[in-house]
Structure formats: C-alpha cells, structure tokens
Structure 1
Amino acid sequence: MSETQKLRNIGPKSSAWLRQVGLHTREELADAGTVEAFMRVKRAGFKPTLNLLYAIEGALLDCHWQEVPDTRRKELVDAAEAAIAQLPPPRYKPAAGPVTTTVLAADTVPERPDEG
C-alpha cells in the first residue's frame, strides 16, 4: 500500500493517479501543492473532478474534504480553472463539417465507353 493511499480522503483510484504522476508520499504531495497535484493528474490524461481537488486539500490539512472552508474551495477552484485555461488545446481534430451530396443532371453525366 502506498503512502498516498494512507492519506485521509485519498482512495485507491486517486492514490493510483497520484502515484502515476510521481506523487508517492505526503511530502511530495505537499511540495507540489494542491492545485499542482490536481493539474498533474489532469495533464496526464485522467478526468479528475473537483472532489479530487478538495480531497487533496483535505489530506494536506488532515481533515475531511467537506470540512475545507468554502472560501478556500473557491480559491482552489479559481486557481485550477486558471491553470486549466493555460493547457494547450486538445490534439484531436474536431468533427468534420456537414456532408453535402451533389447530384448531376442526367444530361451532364458522360457516357461510359461500355454503354452504347
């Protein structure tokens, strides 16, 4: 069992994400900080919710994530949103535009050589 899994609020999935982004101990988590830890998980391609942001903060404060004060939660969300805005755009291409079909009039279609 990793040290991050032993932290309050950090379940198996969150612990696995944190380990995969190089955060194995409480000290490493504290050094990175709440928002940076959250952003590492996000940049790695995982889909963390704000609950992870609050869970990390609660783990560092050694309190239940729901006990993180509303003012602090707002600060965290604002900082995370600002960091997310700095991320490069996704690498995938957007869906193509609408498909149109062109119909040629019968008299404009060239004859095939095998037709006679």
Structure 2
Amino acid sequence: MTETPIDTLPGIGPVTQSRLEDAGIRTVGDLRSMGSVEAYRRLKFMLPRQVSLNALYALEAALRGCHWLDLPEDVKTALRQEAKTIDDAFRRGAAARCAI
C-alpha cells in the first residue's frame, strides 16, 4: 500500500493529485508517513489562496477512507486548530514559518 499512487485514495482527484505531487507527495505511503496536517502545510505554503481548510479535511478523510463530511466533530475541531496555527504562521512571514 505504501507505493500505491496517491490518486487511489477516495476524494483525491486530478487537481489535488497534481498539487500533492508538486509538494513531493506521490504515494499513499508518502501521505501516511507525513500525515494530513504536514501535507496541508506544504500545500498552503505553495498555494496560499487556493488551499483552504476543506483541503485539510479532504486529506484527513482520504487517509481514513471516508468523505470529509463524515469526519467526527472532534477531529474537525483539532484540524481547524492545526490549520489556524499554519495560517497564522503564514501571515507572520517567512521567518515565522521556520518556527512551526
């Protein structure tokens, strides 16, 4: 499963696949080893205006094999906090991004 292409996960379409590959995430194993939050961080810093909280939900849901709307509320709450931390660091600038 680790070498399985990333687009085999549910909810990962061609656009997301391309963005993930640009971020160096090519396989299910790549995504599993770094987790949804790190993948989101990479995407957010590459494409800050195109990547939203829904991307983080979708990445987490893909790893869990479900639709993002089906994520438990406590998981969504934790992901929102992670996204806020990443977004705040992005707004503070390059020096702050290294401190995450």
Give the TM-score normalised by the residue count of structure 2.
0.80
Structure 1 residue 27: Cα displacement: 0.9
Aligned to 1:64: 67
Answer 1 or 2: higher relative contact order, Cα 8 Å, separation at least 6: 2
Runs of 5+ unmatched residues, structure 1: 92-116
RMSD: 1.9
Aligned to 1:3: 5
Aligned to 2:22: 20
Percent identity, please. 31
> What SS does structure 2 have at the residue aligned with 1:86?
helix
Q: Which has the larger radius of gyration?
A: 1
Runs of 5+ unmatched residues, structure 2: 95-100
Give the aligned length: 90
Aligned to 1:73: 76
Runs of 4+ in 1 over 6 A off after TM superposition: none
Distance in 1 between residues matched to 2:21 and 2:9, nearest whole Å: 13
Distance in 1 between residues matched to 2:67 and 2:86, nearest whole Å: 25
Q: Greater helix percent: which structure?
A: 2
**Deviation larger for 15-24 or 44-53:** 44-53
Q: 2:89 aligns with which of 71, 86, 89?
A: 86
